[in-house]
A = this chain, B = another copy of it.
Amino acid sequence: MNFNAVTIRDIAKELNLSVSTVSKALRDSYEISEKTKKLVIECARRNNYRPNPIAQSLKQGNSKSIGIVVSTIENQFFAQVINGIESVAHKEGYNVIITQTHESYDLEVKNVNHLTSRSIDGLLISLSTETPDVEHLKTLHAQGLPMVFFDRVTEEINTHKVISDNYKGAYDATKHLIDSGFRRIAHITSPPNISITKERLAGYKAALADAGIFTPDYYISYCPHGGRDISEIENALNFLLNLEDKPDAIFTTSDRITTTTIFLLNKLKVAIPADVALVGYTNTTLADVLNPPLSSVHQQGFEIGQKATEMLLSLIKSKWPVTEFETVVLPTHLFIRESSTKPKK
């Protein structure tokens, strides 16, 4: 930084003291007399001295910053998670570096490398939908980088995790559709490899099974890129709506898939819920104002972020290697609106 060149050395020179005295005075060391402390502090203030955090980091071996990897901050859910992360991190004097994968594996690897090469103290990560394996994270984990997974987690790395109760969220949504009188309930979801897909699929299947409703496998559509390409969802809908036993309801996962589905159904002039009902996962604040108001499973994004950060900081601050890990599961909430209300005949 050349825009703020005042260093501890300048103060030392001005006061005819050694740098170590100045440093200790500023850190309020017991070794320094009150008189000198006052002198130093006053001089620092007068010269608008700010300790160079880079030098501090180098000396202390930590950077007081944590890295975040999410798919995209345009997703309201992740924006809320990040707000939760920041609320805890800032309180503890950590700053955060946010990176986005846009669901790409390449970008995930690049971002993780970039973050670690920026010397982060810990990592908060939600896996990209396109991530086939977690070797890039295993190495770092083995090297001792504290990491906490949230939302999309992996079984292959043993560390803290924070997730929503995806199973129950999906179960509740599906059961609600069943209770509302729908029987042919399709499911449009993310790629089968990521955790949230599996958990939500299990909840969906369980609700149907518990109600004794048989559902063919072709009612389940996976979007390989998590809805990054609108065509993925378009294809899924075209397929479903042209079936002979066309579904009378759809349960969607993920913010993007859900909001895109409502957009496409409207465009296709498929009436919701008259032609097909819809319940989705989304954290948009606009669900109420959509046409029609969208029934949705809402996740506690902010709280997920908070919890994950608390756990990460506890790992970072721990003096001994942590071997006991925890997976925190936060409840989801189903908001019932018009998109899933059986129209009266």
User: A-side interface residues toward B, CB under 8 Å?
Assistant: 1-4, 48, 50-55, 57-58, 61-63, 65, 72-74, 76, 79-80, 82-83, 86, 90, 95-100, 114, 116-119, 139-140, 143-146, 259, 262-263, 266, 284-286, 288-293
Contacts and interface: CB of A to CB of B under 8 A. Distances in A.
Contacts of A86: 99-100
A56 to B, nearest CB: 9
Given A53-B119, A54-B57, A54-B58, 9 more contacts: A53-B118, A54-B54, A54-B63, A65-B97, A73-B73, A95-B97, A95-B99, A96-B98, A289-B291
A321 B284 CA distance: 45
- Judged by DSSP, the binding face of A is mixed
B286 A139 contact: no
Q: How many monomers of this protein are in the complex?
A: 2
A2 B119 contact: no
Given A4-B116, A57-B54, A79-B74, A263 B288 contact: yes
Most central of A79, A97, A114, A259 by chain B CB within 10 Å: A79
The 4 closest A-B pairs by CB, nearest first: A291-B291, A3-B144, A74-B79, A3-B145
A143 B1 CA distance: 10
Contacts of A285: 74, 259
